[in-house]
Amino acid sequence: MRQELKSALGRTYLIVEPNPIDRWIDVVWMGYLTGDNIRTGAAAYTAALAASGYHAVLNDTRAVLGPWEHSLDWVVNTWAPQAAAAGLTHFAMVTTRETMADATAVSFYQQLTAFQAELFADPEEARRWLRQFSLVRPKEQ
């Protein structure tokens, strides 16, 4: 079921939608992200992942404005292990290169150890990479 999360000002900052064909969770972030937005959004799509039984996330951050480094430590050290415990094994992050949000994404990628992640500028390339894992059950990998 598609979820749309809105900020206190009523602006959508996250869309979460299970993709039953590719067997992953589609996540689209947008706007300026606060620490609360990131924690609430990450919890929403981690819950969707656990409920679906999928093991992959396509995380699109191309519409994010500004850095989110204020939450990087929490994402790497708290959320990532929780997401892995919920079944996440593969995470494709689509980002716009050479932006402040991309710089934070690169830091995330470099510090992450809880699951396999890759950064992409091209969403179709991210989908191709993710499909090789999402359609296979974790025990088969």
65 φ, ψ (degrees, to nearest 5): -105, 120
The pTM assigned to this predicted structure is: 0.85
pLDDT tens digits, one per residue of 61-91: 999 988 777 877 888 889 999 999 999 999 9
Question: What's the number of CA atoms in the CB half-sphere (13 Å) around residue 35?
Answer: 6
Alpha-carbon distances, residue 110 vs 5, 56, 77, 118 (angstroms)? 28, 19, 13, 10
Question: Does residue 140 have a pLDDT over 50?
Answer: no
Distance between CA atoms of residues 46 and 48, nearest Å: 5
pLDDT tens digits, one per residue of 13-31: 999 999 999 999 999 999 9
